[in-house]
Structure 1
């Protein structure tokens, strides 16, 4: 990867870290786990940037929150959020974005694979998030599922549909800029 393309991808990853933070401000509190848009941007970062750069964008977002910046749901920040009821969901974004990115990298932009990848990502988020919610709150497993997963399923279906449409529209732009970067590097050589 040439320097120009690496810089471009760094900018994209930074942009997605900021979008994930903005998505956390769009929240509806319905219990210990709020409805937020940040997971839409997590999925989009994986679809558009791939496994490594998507992972970088989520890592920057989580690091910013751990350092105390108010980037988590409700304008919260601090490392203590990882020990709270939503900590499992936050940490789950790392493996989820990586797996979504890996699957979509192999799929070459095919919509069905994007959908499957995001479903896999959502399963990872709920597996880690609900488990952590159960541990931290002392809820039974059924209660944790009802409080930490069921209210969000319809929203996740809508987020997946939106992510597919947005990725379809933005992939040509990102791929065109990557192709232009490669052409510039070849012209300089």
Structure 2
């Protein structure tokens, strides 16, 4: 139990740290950040339950006002902006990624990449598009077109998540809780 709490806290901190990487803000007001890589790693390394809990802890800290999102944003106001769909989708994406990692027999790197693509792009984009559609008063098709700007960067993050997870599995196999 204590070990799980430590991992959850460490990965919540990882997601926060990845928000410090300089962002690129699109005209829609939605920034391109490295934080979604953290969401992917929460699932690939910690598994479904712990990964989702790490992201929920991160979001709880953001809700209390800590400036942990890219650009130093935090507080309840971020949950009524154009990024709300992505924020709601973060823990669900981490859960899906972890769930897939726990159930696949593919090699670790390939499994992590595939799970990150499904959870970190497909699932997360469903929520992000819905949030942008509502908050920006766009049709779902228009919001999907706006979200398409994120795809190249997120594809790179999928590859990175696969490599990082594979490296962790090689260096410290016991640390890969999604495969324990």
TM-score, structure 2 normalization? 0.88
Distance 2:63 2:176 in 1: 32
Report the aligned-residue RMSD.
1.8
Instruction: Identify the residue that residue 46 of structure 1 maps to in structure 2.
Output: 43
Can you give the 5+ residue segments of structure 1 that lack an aligned partner in the other structure?
A: 1-5, 180-189
Instruction: Identify the residue that residue 20 of structure 1 maps to in structure 2.
Output: 15
Question: More helix by proportion, 1 or 2?
Answer: 1
Equivalent residue for 1:97, pick from 94, 97, 102: 94
> How many aligned positions are there?
173
1:163 maps onto 2:161 in alignment: yes
Distance 1:178 1:103, change over 3 A: closer
| CA deviation after TM superposition for structure 1 residue 25, in Å | 2.4
1:75 maps onto 2:72 in alignment: yes
Structure whose alpha-carbon radius of gyration is higher: 1
Can you give the 5+ residue segments of structure 2 that lack an aligned partner in the other structure?
A: none
Spell out structure 1 runs of 4+ moving beyond 4 A.
none
Distance 2:10 2:110 in 1: 26
1:126 maps onto 2:125 in alignment: yes
Distance 1:177 1:113, change over 3 A: closer
Taking CA–CA contacts closer than 8 Å with sequence separation of 6 or more, which of the two structures ends up with the larger relative contact order? 2
TM-score, structure 1 normalization? 0.84
Kept in 1: contact 2:45–2:176 (CA 8 A): no
1:175 maps onto 2:173 in alignment: yes
Instruction: Identify the residue that residue 154 of structure 1 maps to in structure 2.
Output: 152
